[in-house]
Amino acid sequence: MVSVISSVDTGHEDMIHDAQLDYYGTKLATCSSDRSIKLFDVSSGQQVPIADLRGHEGPVWQLCWAHPMYGSVLASCGYDRKVIIWKETNGSWDKLYEYSNHDSSVNSVCFAPHELGLVLACGSSDGSISVISTTGDGNWDAKKINNAHTIGCNAVSWAPSTSPNALFDQGARQQPAKRFVSGGCDNLVKIWREEDGQWVEDQKLEGHSDWVRDVAWAPSIGLPRNVIATCSQDCRVIIWTNDGTSNHWTSRVLNKFSDVVWHVSWSVTGNILAVSGGDNKVTLWKESVEGQWTCISDVNKGQGQITDQRSSSVEPNYNTRRRLDL
Amino acid sequence: MALQWSSETFVAELKDLQANAMAVDCLGTQAVLAGKKTLAYVNLENSEEGDDGSNVTRVARQSKWDVNCIQFNPHASHAPLYVTACNTRLDVCQLSDRNGNPVCTLKAHSRIICDVDWSPFDVNVVASCSVDSFTYLWDIREPKKPVHSFQTVAGAYQVKWNKVTNNLFATTHEGDIRIWDPRKGNSPQQYIAAHLSKIHGLDWSPDNQNQFVTASQDGYVKLWDYTNPKKCFGSTDSGAPVRRARYTPFGAGLVTVVVPQLKRGENSLYLWKITKQSDMSPVHTFVGHKDVVLEFQWRKQPEGSRDQQLVTWSRDQSLRIWRIDPNLQRLCGHDGGDSGEVDLTGTSYNSSESTLKDLRDLSLSEPTMEDEMEISVATVTMAQQARSLQQEFSQLNTDIPNITLDQMDPVSRTCRVTGVGGGQKVIMECLFPEAYPNNVSPSFQILTTTLDAAMQSRLLKVLSDTSVKFVRRNNNCLEMCLRQLMSILDSMDDRRSPESEASFTRAPPPIVQATAFNILPMYSLGNFQDSSVPFPRTSGARFSSNGFLVAFGVPAEMKKVSGGAEITPKALSELAAFTQTSWNNTRTNPFSLVFSRSPPTPSSDMSISDFFEKKGRQRSSRHSHSHSLSRRPKRQERYGEKLSSKKQLSVGKVKIYDVEVLVGVNKYLAQHYKMDLDDVEGTCRHNQSAAAAIGRKDLVQTWSIAATMASRKVLPSPVPQMEMPWAMTPCGRPLLKYILDQHGAQFDVQTLAMLCCLFWTPDPPRPRARSQAQVPRSGSKVSLEFTPPNYNPYHTVSSVTGLLKGLRTRHMRMSTFEGGGSQSAYEAEMYDEGHDSAVAKSKRSMSWSDTFDTADDGRSSNGLESQEELEKLQHEDNCKMLDPAVWEQYDRYKLAYAKILYNWRLFNQRALVLKFISTPVPQHKGVEFAVCCHKCGKEMRGPQCSWCKYPALQCSICHIGVRGLANFCLVCGHGGHTVHILEWFKSHSVCPTGCGCNCLKENLFGG
Lowest mean pLDDT among A8-17, A219-228, B196-205, B507-516: B507-516
Q: How many helices (H) and strands (E) does chain B have?
A: 26, 42
Please report, for residues A182, A185, A251, A261, B548, the alpha-carbon distance to residue A211 in angstroms, rounded to integers and kept in the order given: 12, 4, 17, 10, 29
As a whole number of Å, the CA-based R_g of chain A is 20
Instruction: State pLDDT tens for residues A84-117.
Output: 999 998 888 989 899 988 888 899 999 998 888 8
Instruction: Kindly tell me if the per-residue pLDDT of B577 is higher than 60.
Output: no
B194-204 tens-digit pLDDT: 888 889 899 99
Residue B393 has pLDDT above 70, yes or no: yes
Phi, psi of B394 (to 5 degrees): -70, -25
Closest CB to A21: pick one of B548, B889, B893: B548
Q: How far is B753 from chain A (nearest CA, A)?
A: 9
pLDDT at A255: 86
Asked whether residue B351 carries a pLDDT value surpassing 70, the answer given is no
pLDDT tens for B844-879 read 433 343 334 433 444 445 556 677 777 777 777 777
pLDDT above 90 (res A139): no
Q: CB B657 to CB A9 under 8 A?
A: no
pLDDT beyond 60 at B2 = no
Distance CA B660, CA A3 (A): 10
Q: Interface pTM (ipTM) of the complex? A: 0.86
How far apart CA A143 and CA A132 sit, in angstroms, is 6
The pLDDT score that the predictor gives to residue B50 is: 45
- CA dist B157 and B116 (Å) reads 10
A153-158 and A140-145 beta bridge pairing: unpaired
CA nearest to A268 within chain B: B545
Please judge whether A277 and B539 are an interchain contact, meaning their C-beta atoms are less than 8 angstroms apart: yes
Instruction: Output the average pLDDT for chain B.
Output: 69
Question: Which of A53, A126, A270 lies nearest to residue B747, judging by beta carbons?
Answer: A270
Full 3-state SS string of B784-817: HHCCCCCCCHHHCHHHHHHHHHCHHHHHHHHHHH
- Given a cut of 50, whether residue A222 has pLDDT beyond it is yes
Q: 3-class DSSP state for residue B624?
A: helix
Asked if the Cβ–Cβ distance from B532 to A24 is below 8 Å, we say no
Query: Which chain B residue is nearest to residue A280, measuring alpha carbons?
Result: B539
Summarize pLDDT for B907-937 with one digit per residue, the tens. Answer: 888 888 888 776 555 555 556 666 666 667 6
Distance between CA atoms of B980 and B545, rounded to whole angstroms? 49
pLDDT at B83 over 80: yes
Q: Which H, E and C letters describe B178-211, residue by residue?
A: EEECHHHCCCCCEEEECCCCCEEEEEECCCCCCE
In percent, the amount of chain B with pLDDT more than 90 equals 2
Helix (H) or strand (E) holding B462: helix B453-471
For residue B639, pLDDT beyond 70: no
Q: What is the mean pLDDT of residues B185-190?
A: 82
> What per-residue confidence (pLDDT) applies to B197?
86
Average pLDDT over residues A173-181: 71
Q: Pick the more confident residue, B120 or B390.
A: B120
What's the whole-number mean pLDDT along residues B973-977?
Answer: 82
Over residues B974-978, the mean pLDDT reads 83
Pairing of strands A16-21, A212-217: unpaired
Tell me how far apart the alpha carbons of residues B719 and B809 are, in angstroms, rounded to a whole number. Answer: 13
Binning pLDDT at 50, 70 and 90, where does residue B722 land? low
The average pLDDT across B732-755 equals: 84
- State the DSSP code for B571: B
pLDDT in tens, B413-434: 888 888 877 677 888 888 887 7
Edge-first strand listing for the sheet containing A36-41: A16-21, A27-32, A36-41, A48-54, B511-513
- Rounded Cα gap, residues B880 and B762, in angstroms: 9
B485-527 pLDDT, tens digit each: 777 777 665 444 444 333 334 445 566 554 444 333 444 444 4
Q: What is the mean pLDDT of residues A167-171?
A: 43
Phi then psi for A73, rounded to 5 degrees?
Answer: -125, 135
Q: Hey, is the C-beta of A285 within 8 angstroms of any chain B C-beta?
A: no
Residues in B closer than 8 angstroms to A4, CB to CB, are: 655-658
- Per-residue pLDDT for A7 more than 70? yes
Question: What's residue B728's pLDDT?
Answer: 73
Q: Which residues of chain B lie closer than 8 angstroms to A17, CB-CB?
A: 536-538, 540
CATH architecture of A101-324: 7 Propeller (2.130)
CB-neighbour burial class of residue A101 (10 A; exposed 0-12, middle 13-18, buried 19+)? middle
Average confidence (pLDDT) over B311-320: 83
A19 touching chain B per CB within 8 A:
yes
Higher pLDDT, B521 or B607: B607
- For the cut 60, the answer to whether the pLDDT of residue B840 exceeds it is no
Give the per-residue pLDDT at A238: 93
Listed ranges A290-304, B388-402, B446-460, B552-566; the one with the highest mean pLDDT? B446-460
pLDDT for res B821: 38
A 91-120: CB under 8 A from B: 92-95, 98, 103-105, 107
pLDDT at residue B518 in the model? 39
Average pLDDT of the segment spanning B555-577: 66
Asked if the C-beta of A244 comes within 8 angstroms of chain B's C-beta atoms, the answer is no
- The distance of A202 to chain B (nearest Cα, Å) reads 23
Cβ separation A282–B539 shorter than 8 A = yes
Residue B151 has pLDDT above 80, yes or no: yes
Residue B823 has pLDDT above 70, yes or no: no
| A222·B663 Cβ contact <8 A | no
Distance from CA of B531 to the nearest CA of A (A): 9
Q: What is the pLDDT of residue B697?
A: 85
pLDDT at B729 exceeding the cut of 70: yes
| Residues of chain B neighbouring A18 (CB-CB closer than 8 A) | 537, 540, 542, 552
What digits encode the pLDDT tens for the residues A43-82? 887 888 888 898 888 889 999 999 988 889 999 999 888 8
- How far, in Å, CA of A97 to CA of A85, rounded? 5
Interface contact B552-A30, CB threshold 8 A: yes
- Torsion sign over Cα B660, B666, B668, B670: negative
Task: Write down the pLDDT at residue B512.
Answer: 59
Nearest CA to CA, how far is A203 from chain B (Å)? 23
Looking at residue B47, its pLDDT comes to: 57
Q: Write down the pLDDT at residue A239.
A: 92
Residue B851, classed as helix, strand or coil, is helix
CA nearest to B650 within chain A: A15
The pLDDT-based confidence of A29 (bands split at 50, 70, 90) is very high
Name residue B548's beta-bridge partners: B658
Distance from the B660 Cα atom to the nearest Cα atom in chain A, whole angstroms: 8
Binned at pLDDT 50, 70 and 90, residue B612 comes out as: low
Residues 6 or more apart whose CB falls under 8 angstroms from that of B859 comprise: none
Q: Is the pLDDT at B655 greater than 70, yes or no?
A: yes
Does the beta-carbon distance from B265 to A104 stay under 8 Å? yes
Q: What pLDDT does A176 receive? A: 60
Q: What is the pLDDT of residue B865?
A: 66
